[in-house]
Amino acid sequence: MDRKLTVGFVGLGNMGWPMARNLARAGHRLVVRDADAGRQQRFAAEHGCAAADAPAAFESADAVITMLPTGRIVREVMLDWGLAAALRRRTVAVDMSSSDPAGTQALARELAGRDVALVDAPVSGGVPRAEAGTLSIMVGADNVAAIDSVRPLLEVMGKKLFLTGRSGSGHAVKALNNFVAAAGYTAAAEALIVGRKFGLDPALLVDVLNASTGRNFSTEFSFKEHVLTGKYATGFALGLLTKDIAIAADLAKAIGIEAPVCALLKEHWAETCAKMGGTVDHTAAIRHWAEVNGVAAPDAA
């Protein structure tokens, strides 16, 4: 489809900035909003789009995308700030944040009362794939026609689109994916800490994992690119991953599923986040775990 849309974009963080930039480069007309007014103005100036200082700036939008830290903040923007009230009937709201599935379903019902459809479309792939426009996007909605109307936007930002089902299902899949990713990271980190204590070279151990059955995304990317180098700069904060694990664990509990690994990881990462703070990169968690065990972090000489 060649039709260019007017798109509201709320949230210009590490992920939101390149995602919105790709939409602007594709020729869509953007109206942008960020809690950081300076960042909002810089984006608008660099990409020739409008900056929104009030909800009324989104009145002409065909679709509004939110890329925010939590579902609670999405709800506040939509209902408390007044974004939903400013939208025209049959506008599509696309929440690409990592939000709680139950909260997404509740918001979808409230927006439907205003004749605004909500599509949950969280992403995976991190900043590099956001930059490249090759994210994996998990898409849920009760209104299938709404998905079709925003598909041209999603295809600019993502390479793989997965239709996950009803409203909230995209956010459920995202949380479960990040739980699995966290499990892989945690296992690899523990292996490196045990190996370091035993006298093994962390880099050698990572190479063995990547050539063997222990290979996963964290060993191939996080440990090679960020842990062993000491960069710790994937752009995905510890607090955000901790939140996603909690969403997965809470979902399991809410529907009566015993998920002991998920529950343990929720506790483990929450304790780590409390000690290190939520703004550090999630890959830095191994530094805390190594310190607790009296072992040098893998990036230490």
| Residues 6 or more apart whose Cβ sits within 8 Å of residue 189 | 227, 285, 286, 289
CB atoms within 10 A of CB 232: 19
Q: Can you say whether the dihedral through the CA atoms of 79, 118, 34, 96 is positive or negative?
A: positive
For residue 122 the two structure tokens come to: 């969280």
- Which residues are paired to 95 by β-bridges? 66, 120
DSSP state of 281: B
Can 4 be counted among the known catalytic residues? no
* CA angle at 273 for the pair 196 and 185, rounded to the nearest 5°: 45
Instruction: For the chain, give the number of residues.
Output: 301
Rounded to whole angstroms, the Cα distance separating 176 from 255 reads: 14
Give me the catalytic one of 159, 160, 174, 231: 174
Closest listed residue to residue 208, CA positions, set 219, 197, 217, 193: 219
Q: Which residues are catalytic?
A: 174
